[in-house]
Amino acid sequence: DIQMTQSPSSLSASVGDRVTITCRASQDINNYLAWFQQKPGKAPKSLIYAAFFLQSGVPPKFSGSGSGTDFTLTISGLQPEDFATYYCQQYKSYPLTFGGGTKVEI
Amino acid sequence: QVQLQESGPGLVKPSGTLSLTCAVSGGSISSSNWWSWVRQPPGKGLEWIGKIYHGGSTNYNPSFKNRVTMSVDKSKNEFSLMLNSVTAADSAVYYCARAMTGDDTPDYWGQGTLVTVSS
């Protein structure tokens, strides 16, 4: 299985900050990488697919980059509604696997 | 706008079978999308269980060791998950999701349903 490692596991930030979350794959996954946002008690929300394409309706303050094994999710101008846990997922090979999550806290 | 809604018992006895259904609205289950199940134990991360196509093709996570079966009911526009020989470790919120066409990752998710395995 491909292991997905996210860092940091949590971070503290302030409204207006720009934050970057890193996701590393245990092997080359090309750009088969997605990002999800999850708020407490809610289902995940799809943000980004294919490493940098935004899902419909996702604001451009979210951006993704990377290819191969190293990827980043950047959130610009943090707003209160952005405080959540973020997960990456590889879909290069089966079983599909997720990172352990990064909790973005105030 | 596609919507998915999970349903099923919230409590299952150990060694029993977990059965969940996901009703799809706002779209056809016979589209070119695959349909997935993902679970999340309380306070933990996400785990992919598997996926099914409307024609019946499936792809399961081997970690479930032949305990899992998925099916589609096109007449009801829904798909289902069965997980047998459950233990407390199977207690989780179970989500159904639609995989994108062309990119094998979810774009739409159900709200999730909590299943607890306990006697």
The token pair that represents A29 in the structure block = 């996954």
Query: Residue B95: which H helix or E strand, with range?
Result: strand B92-99
Question: Is the confidence at residue B102, as pLDDT, over 90?
Answer: no
What mean pLDDT do residues B59-82 have? Answer: 95
List residues in chain B touching A: CB distance below 8 A.
38, 45-48, 59, 61-63, 95, 100, 103-112
Alpha carbon of A3: minimum distance to chain B alpha carbons (Å): 12
Question: Which residues of B are less than 8 Å from A101 in CB distance?
Answer: 45-46
- Mutation choice for B interface testing from A4, A96, A103 by most B CBs within 10 A: A96
User: Which tens digits make up the pLDDT trace of A21-79?
Assistant: 999 999 999 999 999 999 999 999 999 999 999 999 999 999 999 999 999 999 999 99
pLDDT band at B68 (very low <50, low <70, confident <90, very high): very high
What mean pLDDT do residues B84-100 have? Answer: 97
What mean pLDDT do residues B79-107 have? Answer: 95
**Of B61 and B56, more confident:** B61
Mean pLDDT of the residues in chain B? 96
Query: For chain B, what percent of residues have pLDDT higher than 70?
Result: 100
Residue pair B99/A48 in contact by the 8 Å Cβ criterion: no
* Nearest-by-Cβ selection for B59 from A32, A89, A94: A94
Residue pair A57/A65 in contact by the 8 Å Cβ criterion: no
Q: Which residue of B has its CA nearest to A102?
A: B45
What pLDDT sits at residue B65?
Answer: 77
Map chain A to HEC letters.
Answer: CCCEEEECCEEECCCCCCEEEEEEECCCCCCCEEEEEECCCCCCEEEEECCCEECCCCCCCEEEEEECCEEEEEECCCCHHHCCEEEEEECCCCCCEECCCEEEEC
**Of B59 and B65, more confident:** B59
Question: Which residues of A are less than 8 Å from B57 in CB distance?
Answer: none
pLDDT band at B43 (very low <50, low <70, confident <90, very high): very high
